[in-house]
Amino acid sequence: MDYLPPPPAIERPAQPPLLVSERRNAENAPVFYVDATDGDDRRSGRGPKEAWKSLEKVNGMAFPPGSRVLFERGESWRGSLLASSSGTTDRPITYGAYGKGDAPVIDARGASVAVSLNGKAHVAFDGLTITGAADTGLLLGPRARNVSVTNVTVAGNGGSGIVVQGTSEGLRIDGSAITGNGAYGIVHYAADNTDQVITRNTIADNGWRKDGGVYSGWNGRILTGEIARNRVFNNGVNGGEGRSHGLYHDQGQAGSALKIHNNLIHDNPRGAGILAKSSTEIYRNVIFRNADAGLSLGQNRGIDVTYRVYDNEFYDNNGGVLQHQKGNGSITLELRDNLFHRNGKRAAIIIADSIGKSITGNRVSNDAKSEAKSEPRAGTTANQPSASQPSGGTVQEASGMRPESVR
């Protein structure tokens, strides 16, 4: 494989140059400033020396499309930030930062929600730290349309980091850290979400609540979109045994075209690296040291699903790829050109049900994986396809098998 895994640290994405029309929109858009120390709500808010002070002032204002509401870096606000206006497709309302220092902090101090989209559309959150909520850090709903979350830290909230409430059309979560939240890192509660892009984030250390919940790094159902170039680890530490995963594409999403690719998914202690119950294309991920299988497929109930799984690397999981618990709907699996290192107590590939499948070109090794290299080492692959072995690697087929832990 000729790809590199994502870097351990967050990459702050370079911003593309603005089009002429976008530059004009930005130049003409009003900018409002908020300073927790030296601000005054009686002022105009239209410059750093005219900055407002409180979240209450910001929450009560109606902003025209294209407005930017900027919080001073190095400052902290107690309470909840509630989006008060919608932008337009090419002129979103932006909540961002100005000045020097650490990202501005919105600290809910025990309020239910730290930051809420509040039913608005065409809104951007950029460069903020969101913390301290009893429940949700960032609540996007009830219908998140054309919303972006970039360079944001969502951490230390009692419930989930980011909750997508209702069906979303156009959501980008990029270059952010969603860490140390009590329940899910990111969760989509509704189905049929379209144009969902979750890229270049760190999603880690979520799911510490001790209530037996099913808390994965990401959980949801997506119709169209991609989850790519994220680092996903140590989620669901206190979640349900065998049910808290790195990434969890839940059942019930008919016709899904979700792509999960180029992620680094590891050390999730209560479940699989990826659990996919709806159709998913999964490629060029590095998946290792998860408590259960690197990739678990099936449990599709009455929906026909298709899985395309290729060019991934699996090592030190409890099984590489596990298909089991097929529902009444059909399952079609293409599994090719994957690399498997040590697979714990299970075979590299387990097919437990009668499904449509094409399994070719996979390579299996019992040697330890050298984490210093991203390329497979020469001489360590075994079980290449042969006339007597219809698929690449070690394949265990046992109709009716029900592995005990991945649910």
Predicted confidence (pLDDT) per residue in 254-287, tens digit: 999 999 999 999 999 999 999 999 999 999 999 9
Domain extent, residue 392, equals: 182-397
Residue 258 placed within a domain? yes
Q: What is the CA radius of gyration of the chain?
A: 23
Hey, how many other C-beta atoms are within 10 angstroms of the C-beta on 371?
13
Whether 353 is in a domain gets the answer yes
- What order of strands is seen across the sheet that includes strand 363-364? 76-78, 105-107, 129-131, 153-155, 177-179, 202-204, 231-233, 264-266, 286-288, 313-315, 339-340, 363-364
CA distance 318 to 328: 27
Tokens 């000729």 -> residue: 2
Beta strands 280-283 and 258-261 are parallel
299: nearest Cα among 320, 329, 269, 273: 329
Domain presence at residue 125: no
Considering the domain boundaries, does residue 303 fall inside one? yes
In a domain, 93, yes or no: no
> Quick one: pLDDT at residue 2?
40
What is the sign of the dihedral through the CA atoms of 84, 89, 91 and 94?
positive
SS3 category, 179: strand
Residue 88 lies in a domain: no
Which residue ranges in the chain fall short of pLDDT 70? 1-27, 368-407
What domain count does the chain have? 1
Provide the sign of the torsion angle of the four alpha carbons 273, 245, 108, 65, taken in this order: positive
Residue with tokens 């984030």: 201
Contact by Cβ (8 Å): 104, 73: yes
What CATH number is given to the structural domain containing 339? 2.160.20
pLDDT value at residue 25: 52
- Planar angle of CA 142, 150, 98, nearest 5 degrees: 110
The Cβ-side half-sphere exposure at 79, using a 13 Å CA radius, reads 11
51 inside domain: no
Handedness of CA 84, 174, 280, 207 (dihedral sign): negative
pTM of the model: 0.87
Confidence at residue 156, expressed as pLDDT on a 0 to 100 scale: 98
If you ran DSSP here, which 8-state letter would residue 389 be given? B
Comparing C-alpha atoms, which of 119, 122, 246 is closest to residue 186?
A: 246
Q: Rounded to an integer, what distance in angstroms lies between the CA atom of residue 258 and that of residue 305?
A: 12
- Measured distance CA(362)–CA(354) in Å, rounded: 20
Compute φ and ψ for 171, nearest 5 degrees: -135, 130
Closest CA to 163 of 133, 205, 201: 133
CB 137, CB 112: distance < 8 Å: no
| Residues 6 or more apart whose Cβ sits within 8 Å of residue 271 | 216, 236, 239, 242, 243, 244, 245, 246, 248, 290, 291, 292, 406
Three-state secondary-structure class, residue 373? coil
- What lies within 8 Å, CB to CB, of 386 at 6+ separation is none
d(CA 396, CA 11): 39
Q: Is 111 exposed, middle or buried (0-12, 13-18, 19+ CB in 10 A)?
A: middle
The residue ranges of DSSP E strands in 215-348, in sequence order, are 218-220, 225-228, 231-233, 247-249, 258-261, 264-266, 274-276, 280-283, 286-288, 295-298, 305-310, 313-315, 321-324, 331-336, 339-340
Could you read off the pLDDT of 128-173 as tens digits, one per residue?
Answer: 999 999 999 999 999 999 999 999 999 999 999 999 999 999 999 9
Residue 53 falls inside a structural domain: no
